[in-house]
Amino acid sequence: MSVLLALAVLVALVLLWQDALRARETALAIARQTCDRAGFQLLDATVALRRVGITRAPGAGCCALRRTYVFEYSVHGGDRRSGFVILAGHRPVSVGL
């Protein structure tokens, strides 16, 4: 019985990890699109997870993870500014430059 429990926990952890990777890729794509549309340069080509919480998913009414990712961008090439992407599940809630 304990082997089955350990296996179930391991599978749950792997699924959570894969979900986190998909959410990060979604946030990165949104940050790229936002910077491209504004004519800015996305620096370091990455986003960093800043905060995780629980919220209701938009339109679904059920609970979802609310993740806040931060990224840096440049307007003129010599400056660094911070932006953010907030996801509820894998849906964007807010993007800020």
* Count of domains observed in the chain: 1
Q: Is residue 67 a part of any domain in this protein?
A: yes
Q: In sequence order, which residues have a C-beta less than 8 Å from that of residue 33 and are 6 or more positions away?
A: none
Q: 13 lies in a domain?
A: no
pLDDT given at position 62:
79
Residue 75 falls inside a structural domain: yes
Res 60: pLDDT: 60
Within a domain: 73: yes
CA gap 57, 40 in Å, rounded: 30
Task: List all residues 6 or more positions away from 15 whose beta carbon is below 8 Å from its beta carbon.
Answer: none
Task: Specify the pTM.
Answer: 0.87
Show the domain range for 92: 23-96
For residue 90, being part of any structural domain is answered with yes
Q: Confirm whether 6 is domain-assigned.
A: no
Tens digits of per-residue pLDDT, 27-74?
999 999 999 999 999 999 999 999 999 887 666 667 888 999 999 999
List, for residues 9-30, the tens digit of each pLDDT value.
999 999 999 999 999 999 999 9
Residue 55: inside a domain, yes or no?
A: yes
